[in-house]
Amino acid sequence: MASDDLADEKNALRTRVSVLEQELRQRTADCTKLRDELRAFEELKKKNESQRELILALRGELDFLRAAHLSAVEALEKKKKEDRDREHRESIQSINARLGADASPKNGSPKASAPKLGAAGGLVPTSSGPQVLLKSSNISSLGFAPVRRPVDFLGGQQNSLQQCGTAGSGHGDEDEAARLMEMVHDEALLNVKYAEVADQEEKELRERFEALRRR
């Protein structure tokens, strides 16, 4: 009986030892696996740290580039506005100069002076043609009075044409001045419209820049 009990106990111990050995092998394998994973994680951590430093450096460079870009955009817009203002001033000065030149009195053609009669008379041009007047005495073909010049010295149809020409010239100056004023008005409207378009484009660019910056 005692030998049988010892044999059973011995077999039970062997079985228990076998189970413990198997469990030990399993745990050893698990530890080896965990150690390998830990090493892999350490390498990954090192890579992440290096990439983190690179990301921080790139972020700083990106912030610098954004600030530089914003400054360049503001400088460009300022330069555009200055150029637009300068061109507008030059255009206004040019138009004012033209208005001043057109408004200045023009030298008209010299008027024909009244013909002078000599002591014995002379040839006097009239609207109906040249006429010969004699001035020999107070008694002449024109009556008992000193000879006077004819009533019409080129004062008929030719004088009417000259007056019409003068009136037409006045209307031409008024039309030219009105046309130039209309040009000034149109150019001012175009400049205002261009400024509004430029401001709208600047606003859209800033909105796009802010949207890109928030990404």
Write the pLDDT tens digit of every residue in 34-71.
999 999 999 998 888 888 888 999 999 999 999 999 99
Supply the mean pLDDT for the chain.
Answer: 72
Q: What is the pLDDT of residue 128?
A: 56
Tokens at residue 38, please?
């830990």
pTM: 0.34
The domain spans of the chain are 1-94, 166-210
CA distances to 48, 151, 199 from 41, rounded to whole Å, are 10, 125, 54
Whether 154 contacts 130, CB under 8 Å:
no
pLDDT at 163: 45
Per-residue pLDDT tens listing for the chain (215 residues) = 567 778 888 888 989 999 999 999 999 999 999 999 999 999 998 888 888 888 999 999 999 999 999 999 999 989 988 998 888 888 888 877 877 776 555 444 444 455 555 554 555 556 555 555 555 444 444 444 444 444 444 444 444 444 444 444 455 667 777 777 777 777 777 777 767 777 777 777 777 777 776 76
Question: Quick one: pLDDT at residue 192?
Answer: 72
Q: How far apart are CA 168 and CA 11, in angstroms?
A: 141
> Which segments of 112-170 are extended strands (E)?
121-126, 129-134, 139-140, 143-144
Give 70-92 pLDDT, tens digit per residue: 999 999 989 988 998 888 888 88
Per-residue pLDDT, 149: 47
CA 57 – CA 62 distance, rounded (Å): 9
